[in-house]
Amino acid sequence: MRIIVCLKSVPDPKHWNKLKLDPETKTLIREGIPSTINPLDKNALEEALRLNEKQGGEVIVISMAPLEMIPVLQEALAMGANRAVLLSDRAFSGSDTLGTAYVLAEAIKAIGNFDLILCGNETIDGGTAQVSAQISEFLDVPNLMFVSQIEYSPGLPFKVRSQIELGYRVVEIAPPMVLSVVKEINEPRYVTMMNILAAEEKEIQVWTSEDLNLTEPCVGLADSPTQMADLFIPERGRNAEMLDQDAEIQAKELADRLHRLGFC
Amino acid sequence: MGSSESKIWVFVEHRQGQLIEVGLELVQKALDLGRQAKWKVAAVLVGHHVSALAEEILTYGVNEVLMADDPLLKDYCNQAYAKTLATAVRHNQPEIFLLGATAMGMDLGPRLAAKLRTGLSAHCIDLELTDAGELLAVVPGWGGSIMAKISCLRTRPQMATVKPGVFDLPQSGQPRGRIITLDPVVDTKDITYRIVEVEREEVQQSDLDTAEVVVAGGWGVGAAENWKLIQDLASVLGGAVGATRPAVDEGWAEEKQMIGTSGRTVKPKLYIGVALSGHMHHMVGIKNPDLMVGINQDRTAPIFTHCDIGLVGDFKEILPKLITAIKPFFDR
Ligand SMILES: Cc1cc2nc3c(=O)[nH]c(=O)nc-3n(C[C@H](O)[C@H](O)[C@H](O)COP(=O)(O)OP(=O)(O)OC[C@H]3O[C@@H](n4cnc5c(N)ncnc54)[C@H](O)[C@@H]3O)c2cc1C
Ligand SMILES: Cc1cc2nc3c(=O)[nH]c(=O)nc-3n(C[C@H](O)[C@H](O)[C@H](O)COP(=O)(O)OP(=O)(O)OC[C@H]3O[C@@H](n4cnc5c(N)ncnc54)[C@H](O)[C@@H]3O)c2cc1C
């Protein structure tokens, strides 16, 4: 089975307290914040590896990101992916979800036939949860989101369980298709030093816009349909009147206020 | 296919014969935006045997209900739904198309936007309309620690999915609009998967959604046995219990009690946050209460910058005393 895993590199949430806004340009300064694989994309990769450990086949990871993200892809290779394709071009930067999905879909077409595309359901940074469904639209294949279980037996359609509000549903679906996974699906494996060394032998191809057949004007900052009109840190707005005295007095004072305001 | 004059379209979901609240909340917001821009508002309803629901939506004041009623649309399938909606949009060219950020809306919205090659703003927490008719959608990023205003200038419609609970429900009254039936456009070939099983838990509204008083506890509560104090305070005030993510991860509270970017949005009149730091991920889930109270042992905790009243100290000491002080008011 040929499985393509879409993988986004994201700023490591442990360092988010360092995120700052440039007040002039309204852009984000993420200096000194290391990048990591988007957590759910690790689950997607894990699922791809597990399926192919049984079936045999190829797992290819693709990512649209600047060249600095090569180490992040190496981590994916160390987990067990067979090869990686990095889509890296200035022209891609600033793409919204439509532009991102379009570039990824064209790259998938360039890779050739596939059975399954696995994505994370959403990322922790932009977090729109839109890219996977849009990839499937560009490829004209079905997609399912919120996937928590994938069952496969040779010769039969896949049985895919996905979460819906207050429950779940199971559908039978045949490849090719796009599935985006939630964290309940599996526990991603640890990467050992040996895996890391082994991964250094594996290939990372870097493709630019020249390598893709991009004919639609929706890629990059200027051509993306959505634009960031403003970026701001939400206001906190209130500044508490502090009642700090001993616990008894504070409790009485608050109870009185709540009473006066009609809450008790 | 019937023609719509409405410029703002709202996708209204239903399950088991009932309209889903977020769709109606969007109807209310669309009516407000429509008044501002002098644009008519349509609700879009897709399913099978849904005409009674269409009649119901008319009582909320929309100008039109666009109804696609077809056996093939009985169960939700994004291929069939996106095709139906894309056809209607191309035919009528609305300016704005809104969906709820539900499991269905978050799946359908991006496919539809890609079909129409237009922009989609993700799970918005507010919508504004400029005088030029441009939609500005406020969307959270980095789990809510940063907000972006997203616009969509060149392509139409301007699309957005909106988090449940951020807008008010509309009042129902005399129906005044009309129902327009959309011609069926899907056939069996459009649906390439088969639903073999659907399991729904009992539909039970979390009382958090409607509670006037919410008492939320955080990681500082420290242990399951201490969580009872949070529940006791909520119950003496007749309120609901909310939680931060760490409190849910620890198993003190259930997932459906989580408030914030990955949890619920609540609209209480009174919010009391106990032993939680006031991280943005939690705070964005609380919409404009009349009174915010924070209880934390660290007087520099960010929660106090979100609150009107702050109590500094160990909640294990303060809460029992507070409960004792509140009770007599109810006994009178
Ligand atoms: C604060 C903020 C708000 C934003 N709001 C919007 C918005 O409302 N509408 C909009 O169109 N854009 C928005 N964007 C831009 C959007 O985040 C980017 O277009 C981004 O490329 C899509 O990423 P995502 O994190 O939203 O992806 P998601 O759709 O959340 O990602 C889902 C999955 O798609 C795959 N994937 C996503 N991106 C890549 C990639 N570059 N390479 C490989 N696989 C990938 C991964 O498997 C991932 O798990 C916003 C960005 C920010 C910073
Ligand atoms: C992508 C993403 C999404 C997230 N979504 C959510 C979300 O939806 N909701 C959410 O809540 N979180 C969410 N989080 C987690 C969020 O970032 C914070 O970690 C979390 O809200 C902090 O929870 P807390 O305030 O309970 O814990 P902490 O930040 O650890 O704060 C505990 C507080 O308790 C106080 N305290 C300790 N002991 C006592 C005592 N005895 N008496 C009084 N005070 C005491 C301490 O002074 C401290 O201020 C998300 C994180 C990520 C990365």
Q: Show residues of chain B in contact with A28, CB under 8 Å.
A: 146
Structure tokens at B117: 């090659």
* A82 residue type, one letter: N
**Which atom of ligand 1 is found nearest the CA of A44?**
47
Which position has the token pair 């003496």?
B236
Mean pLDDT within A119-137: 95
Contact A173 B192 (CB under 8 A): yes
Count of all residues that appear for chain A in the document: 264
Q: What is the DSSP letter of B169?
A: P
| Cα gap A202→A61, rounded to integer Å | 12
pLDDT, one tens digit per residue, over B276-317 is 999 988 998 998 888 999 999 999 999 998 999 999 999 999
Tell me, yes or no, if B128 comes closer than 8 A to chain A by beta carbon.
no
Q: Are A96 and A230 in contact (CB under 8 A)?
A: no
Which 16-75 residues of chain B touch chain A by CB within 8 A? Answer: none
Q: Which of B221, B226, B245, B303 best tests ligand 2's pocket when mutated (most atoms within 8 Å of CB)?
A: B245
| Cα gap B221→B27, rounded to integer Å | 40
Opening angle at CA A91, ends A89 and A96, nearest 5:
105
The reported pLDDT for the residue numbered A20 is: 81
Pairing of strands B18-19, B14-15: antiparallel
Q: Please tell me which residue, A54 or B203, carries the higher pLDDT value.
A: A54
Whether B205 shows a pLDDT value over 60: the answer reads no
- pTM of the predicted structure, to 2 decimals: 0.85
Tell me, yes or no, if B148 comes closer than 8 A to chain A by beta carbon.
yes
Whether A41 shows a pLDDT value over 90: the answer reads yes
C-alpha distances out from residue A255 to A93, A249, B30, B318, B326, Å: 54, 10, 40, 11, 5
The reported pLDDT for the residue numbered A144 is: 97
**Which atom of ligand 1 is found nearest the CA of A225?**
11
* Residue in chain A lying closest to B145 (CA): A233
How would residue B202 be classed by pLDDT, with cut points 50, 70 and 90?
Answer: low
Q: Give residue ranges with CB within 6 A of ligand 2.
A: A 13, 124; B 143, 218-220, 244-247, 258, 260-263, 275-277, 279, 281-282, 296-298, 301, 314-316
The reported pLDDT for the residue numbered A24 is: 76
ipTM, two decimals, is 0.90
Contact B120 A98 (CB under 8 A): yes
pLDDT, one tens digit per residue, over A149-171 is 999 999 999 999 999 877 899 99
Tell me, yes or no, if B124 comes closer than 8 A to chain A by beta carbon.
no
| Cα gap B86→B159, rounded to integer Å | 12
Contact B122 A130 (CB under 8 A): yes
Mean pLDDT within B20-43: 97
Q: Which ligand is nearest to the CA of B319?
A: 2
Dihedral, CA of residue B263, residue B267, residue B269 and residue B271, to nearest 10: 10
DSSP H or E stretch at residue B18: strand B18-19
Identify any residues that bridge with A58 across adjacent strands, giving them in sequence order.
A2
* B124 residue type, one letter: C
How would residue B332 be classed by pLDDT, with cut points 50, 70 and 90?
Answer: low
The reported pLDDT for the residue numbered B47 is: 98
pLDDT, one tens digit per residue, over B85-137 is 999 999 999 999 999 999 999 999 999 999 999 999 999 989 999 999 999 99
The reported pLDDT for the residue numbered B206 is: 63
Residues 6+ apart with CB under 8 A from B121: A226, B135, B137, B139, B150, B152, B159, B160, B161
Q: What burial letters (b/e) apply to A145-180, b meaning 16+ CB within 10 Å?
A: bbbbbbebeeeebbbbbbbbbeebbbbebebbbbbb
From the CA of B302, how far away is ligand 1's center (Å)? 29
The reported pLDDT for the residue numbered B331 is: 75
Whether A81 shows a pLDDT value over 70: the answer reads yes
Whether B146 is in the pocket of ligand 1, judged by its Cβ within 6 Å, is: yes
Count of all residues that appear for chain B in the document: 332
The reported pLDDT for the residue numbered B263 is: 87
**Å between A30 CA and nearest CA of chain B:** 12
Residue (of A204, A188, A200) closest to A78 by Cα position: A200
**What Rg value do the Cα atoms of chain A yield, rounded?**
23
Q: Show residues of chain B in contact with A139, CB under 8 Å.
A: none
Whether A35 is in the pocket of ligand 1, judged by its Cβ within 6 Å, is: no
Opening angle at CA B129, ends B125 and B133, nearest 5:
145
Tell me, yes or no, if B178 comes closer than 8 A to chain A by beta carbon.
no
**Which atom of ligand 2 is found nearest the CA of B218?**
26
| Cα gap A114→A127, rounded to integer Å | 26
Residue (of A248, A263, A219) closest to A90 by Cα position: A219
| Cα gap B240→A159, rounded to integer Å | 39
C-alpha distances out from residue B127 to A152, A244, B32, B135, B158, Å: 43, 39, 11, 7, 11
Q: Please tell me which residue, B176 or A181, carries the higher pLDDT value.
A: A181
pLDDT, one tens digit per residue, over A210-254 is 999 999 999 999 999 999 888 888 776 688 899 988 999 999 999
**Which atom of ligand 1 is found nearest the CA of A95?**
19
Neighbours of A239 (CB within 10 A): 12
DSSP H or E stretch at residue B145: none
HSE at residue B78, side-chain half, CA atoms within 13 A, is 27
How would residue B240 be classed by pLDDT, with cut points 50, 70 and 90?
Answer: very high
Task: Give the percent of chain A with pLDDT over 90.
Answer: 76
Q: How far is CA B65 from the centre of its chain?
A: 21
Contact A98 B201 (CB under 8 A): no
The DSSP code sequence of A150-205 is: EE--TTS-EEEEEEETTEEEEEEE-SSEEEEE-GGG--PPP--HHHHHHHTTS-EE
Q: Which ligand is nearest to the CA of B250?
A: 2
Counts of helices then strands in chain B (DSSP H, E): 9, 18
How would residue B66 be classed by pLDDT, with cut points 50, 70 and 90?
Answer: very high
Whether B141 is in the pocket of ligand 1, judged by its Cβ within 6 Å, is: yes
How would residue A30 be classed by pLDDT, with cut points 50, 70 and 90?
Answer: confident
Contact B311 A243 (CB under 8 A): yes
**Å between B278 CA and nearest CA of chain A:** 10
Whether B144 shows a pLDDT value over 90: the answer reads no
Whether B204 shows a pLDDT value over 70: the answer reads no
Q: Which of B310, B314, B321 is opposite residue A241, by nearest beta carbon? A: B310
Contact B144 A234 (CB under 8 A): yes
pLDDT, one tens digit per residue, over B269-279 is 999 999 999 99
What are the φ/ψ torsions at residue B315 (nearest 5 degrees)? -60, -25
Mean pLDDT within A120-125: 94
